[in-house]
Structure formats: structure tokens, C-alpha cells
Structure 1
Amino acid sequence: MCSDELMGVKTPISLKELNEIFPSYGFTKLMPTSSGIIDTTYIVHTDSTGYILKRYERDIPHKIELDIQLLNQLKSAGLNVPVCLDSKYGWFIYEKLIGKHPINVKSYHIQALARFMAKMHKETSKGKCRSNIILEDEVTESLKYVKANFFGYYKRFEFLKNFTHKHDAIIHGDIFKDNTIFNGKKIGVIDFIDSSCGTFAYDAAVALVGFDARGHHNYFINLFLKNYNQHAPRKLKKSEVIEKMKTAANFFALKRVHEYKNTKRARELLT
């Protein structure tokens, strides 16, 4: 198996070991994923059902607990998210949503995305959220690395040193295409583990960057806002979303330089 295929696996596990940990499932297939560079993710199957198997390679037990609570809350509100079904010895079994990641973004993707995010924000706005210091520390650490190793890029990213969020509520903060699943025109959203306090405008901006809105600029942004503002806890202005899109594109480009140790993946977001 080539190294790219193991990108999503930091802690290997065999099918036999998995069935010893979770004997009631009767797993018949275990497939490593190629997505993700931080946590271990497998797709696992029984004779009739697919699941996602995860192991978090970070010491974040409280964050995992909050993630599970958030997923349950959103699921109860009728949103298509994968709840945690079981956990043992650091391994977590999640629902596997039916569908596939979008490739070529169409209008119905943007409409479904906007409606999902509006309903999610309406739900998370019911509760309080805490400081965003972890995310701000991540920016500081990434800037330090890029300054030492990719100084030309550091000058571009330097403005992010004042990166902070006002705290509207909990946001996903990472809704790129590979964190969404479409079954026809029905959207599901996955990977909430790094959700944090933030602004709804920034969350929308990240999603629009992730869904190629810059290539269709006004049309996709207008379509998103038309659908989002019909259901959201507060309406977003186009000007604030466009401003946040610049921040979002540079933030994720910075993360890619830091995490992948090169600039190829970053340039995709900076063009």
C-alpha cells in the first residue's frame, strides 16, 4: 500500500483487533482513508452497514466530548450529521453518511449548503461558546514556522497575527467540499472536531472559499446569501462575507504550508 493511501492513518489496527474491541458489530471490512493528516480515520463495514472509525491523535478528551454533544444536538434538530455510536479504548465509531463528496459545484450544492449552515447557526446560537484561544494559538504557531521556513509567504500571511473571532456561537469553521456529503441534493456535513467559537460570517466565508465561490464570484455568493438569510439567526451582509473570504483563504493557505511543509496546496487557495 502506497504512503498516500495511509495519510489518514497514524495508528494502524487490524480487522481482528477491531472485532475484539467491538465484538457486537461483526465487522467484515476495514479500509484506511487517504484524507486527513492529523487523526486516524478508517471506513469499516459489516455485512449490511458502513461506519467511520476514528482515533484522535491529539490529547483533546474534552474537545471530543463537546464534539459528540454538538453532533447529537444538530442531529436532534434534523440536520444530517454523523453521530458517535460507540467508543472504547480511544477508538470511536461514527455513522457513515450516504452519498459522496461534490466535485463540480452546482447551484443546488450552494443552496443546500446555505440552508444547512443557516439551520446549524440557528441551533448553535441557542448556547454559549468559550474562548477561541486554541485557534489563535494555532495561527501564532503556524506563522512562526512559515516565517522561519517560507519567509516570502510569511509576508503575505503576516496580517493574520491579529487573527481573532467575535463569538457569535459555535461554528464548524472547515466546511470545504471534502467535509460535505451529497446524496442527490441532500447535504450532510462531517468532521466537526475542530469546531470553535466564531462568527457566522467567517463560517460562511470558509464554505464559499471551499466551494469555489471565488471562481463564480457574485453568482455563488448572492445565491448563498439569498438562501442563508431566509433561515439564519441573523442576516449576513455581502460586504462582510467577502472581507472574511480573504481572511479564510489566507488562514487555510497558512495551515497548508505549515502542515504539508510545502506551498503547492497553499497556492490553490491564493490564486
Structure 2
Amino acid sequence: MAVYTDVTAEELADFLSSYGIGDLLSYKGIAEGVENSNYLLHTSQGYFFLTLYEKRVAVKDLPFFLGLMAHLARHGITCPQPVVNKSGEALGQLAGRPAAIIDFLEGVWPRRPNAAHCAAVGEALAKMHLAGSDFSMSRPNALSVSGWRRLSDQAAERADSVQHGLRDLLSAELSHLEQHWPHDLPEGVIHADLFPDNALFLGEKLSGLIDFYFACNDMFAYDVAICLNAWCFEIDHSFNVTKARAFLSAYTRVRKLSAAEQQAFPMLARGASIRFLLTRLVDWLNVPPGALVKPKDPLEYVRKLRFHQGVKSMRDYGIEDSGFAA
């Protein structure tokens, strides 16, 4: 979450008049993340989130995101629900941007995730994958292997200003991934961005998944790899096998990974590292002037990529291959 577009109190009060959620008492920007402008609203009926969708989010994709959250909730996944206005619409216009109001969920995201947090997220991710199996809408993943070269080209000229040799590292890894990227693995709707700041907890109990604005259709195991990268490394970016074992074991108790998914997993983890390395690098080099956002360090994912390049099998993630095959 972040703030790129300022909203005046007058604009916001006028916008809220078309909703039945009470009078505006206060609001504040949330300066985290990199994608949209987000505000916490306090009205006479409670708390809500307001999201203004910035230019990197295509308006045509918003019905998919909002519809998916409603679908998952109907299938037992705790996630925010879009609030419809008095005309029955979930999407409006505010400060020149498409905007939506989303239910507030109790909980905080874990700044230092432990093994229990990782297990809870693994279980929830597997349940989400199953719950989305009959969602009628689809959205291709523009940030999968076919889109990485374009991102690399955007950052190539200045990549070495972030770290010497980064341009060559990216070029070599992209060539390897494009040649060896797996296909024909089980797929469906994935979250694609389930980082700790997108999972809310009350203590060690998961209270909800949020921020579905990268959700798309892709390989389930790729989503698992994204989460492994996000949850199972320490602050110094070293791999924590205890967290990984808790995460993967909890996921596979709900949805087994096939032999083909296990075999492909190290490559998928490398791809997940490149995906976030590239998007963070582009953001690092192109922060809009005046944005109330601190870009995330792309070099975190260089260290993670180096780890995955040395992985030979699922055993390196702390799990025996035969222990959780379908």
C-alpha cells in the first residue's frame, strides 16, 4: 500500500455520500507498498480501506480483482470485501482515479514471521488455490517469464548503478529461465503477491489475506515459490529451513504437490526471485517525485536468487521429495 494521489477531505466526503457507510470522521494515507494509493477511513459506522488505482493497474482488470475477493469469501477464504455504493456498484471515481472502498479486517501483519505464521500462510494459500478453481473469470500473468525481458530492458542501462555486474546477472539468468521454464503444471487463480504485509494475524492466528491486485492465472507451484521467497528468509536474506518446512508441510496437507511440481520447484523459485528483483529494480530507479513511499530493496532478491541457483531438489528446502508427493 502507498499514497501517490492526494485526496482532500471535501473530495472524500462527497465521494462517501454515495455510500451507506456513515459520515467521515477521519482518514490517513498508508505509506507502504508500491502499487496503489491507499487510505484508512474512519466513519461513523467503523473503519474501511479506500484504494485509488494508479496507472500501473489496468481499469479493465478491476472487475477480476473485486470479483475474485467476493468469490473467495463465498468459499470460506477470509479476505476484504468490496463495499458497493447506493447504485450497487463496487467501483467509483475519486481524484481522477478509479476507486473502491474495501472492508476493514482486524489484525496486523507480522514484521518478524515465525514458523507458526509460515504454516498458517501455507495452509491458507492451498485453500485459496482450491477455492478459486471454479472462479469464472481469468487474467493472464503479465509478470511471468514472457514479461521479464521487457522489465530487464527498462532497467538495463542503470542496473549496474545499483550493484556492479547486475546487468550481466539479469541477462544470464533470464536466458536460463526462458530456456528451462516449466510448462503443463497444475494452474488456476493465484495470489502472486502474498508477502507478510498482505497477511493479517491476531497473534499467530491468520485473520485474513489482503491485496489481491496481482492475482492472476498461473501455476500453483509458482505461487508457492513466491511465498517461500517472501516468508522463509531472514532479515539478512539467509534461508530458514525451519520456516520452509512449516510452510510447505502445511500447504501440502491441503493440496499435494505432484512429482512434476516438485521437480520444477527450484526453477520456479528462481523465477519468483527474478520477478521481484526486476519489479523492485524498476521501481527503485523510477520512484515518482513526491510519492509517500519507500521503494523496496531489489538486492534482497539477488541473495535469494543465488540461494535457489544452488538448490538441486526439494530436500534443499527441508522436505523429503517422497514425503509429500501426490
- The TM-score range, normalised by the shorter chain, is 0.7 to 0.9
Residue 133 of structure 1 and its aligned partner are, at CA, apart by 5.9
Letter of the 1:143 counterpart: S
Stretch deviating more after TM superposition (20-29 or 135-144): 135-144
Contact map agreement 1:132 1:165 (CA 8 A) in 2: no
Structure whose alpha-carbon radius of gyration is higher: 2
Residue 154 of structure 1 and its aligned partner are, at CA, apart by 2.4
Instruction: Trace 1:44-63 onto structure 2 (pairs within 5 A).
Output: 44-58=41-55, 60-63=58-61
Give the one of 203, 214, 220 matched to 2:223.
Answer: 203
2:191 paired residue number? 172
Higher relative contact order (CA 8 A, sep 6+): 2
Give the one of 210, 221, 224 matched to 1:190.
Answer: 210
TM-score, normalising length: structure 2? 0.73
1:4 paired residue number? none
Q: Deviations over 1:127-164 (max 9, x none)?
A: 46756363246423211022222153122222336268
Letter of the 1:249 counterpart: S
Give the one of 36, 40, 54 matched to 2:37.
Answer: 40
Instruction: Trace 1:137-156 onto structure 2 (pairs within 5 A).
Output: 138-151=147-160, 152-156=165-169
Cα distance in 1 for partners of 2:242, 2:7 equals 46
Contact map agreement 1:221 1:238 (CA 8 A) in 2: no
Matched, 1:268 2:288: no
Instruction: Trace 1:176-255 onto structure 2 (pairs within 5 A).
Output: 176-184=195-203, 185-213=205-233, 215-232=238-255, 235=258, 238-255=262-279
Cα distance in 1 for partners of 2:15, 2:133 equals 37
Stretch deviating more after TM superposition (147-156 or 36-45): 147-156
Contact map agreement 1:8 1:33 (CA 8 A) in 2: yes
Matched, 1:122 2:130: yes
Give the one of 7, 13, 20 matched to 1:13.
Answer: 7
Residue 62 of structure 1 and its aligned partner are, at CA, apart by 2.3
- What is the number of residues matched between the two proteins? 265
Secondary structure of 2:134's counterpart equals: coil
Say what the alpha-carbon RMSD is for the aligned residues: 2.6
Q: Percent identity?
A: 23
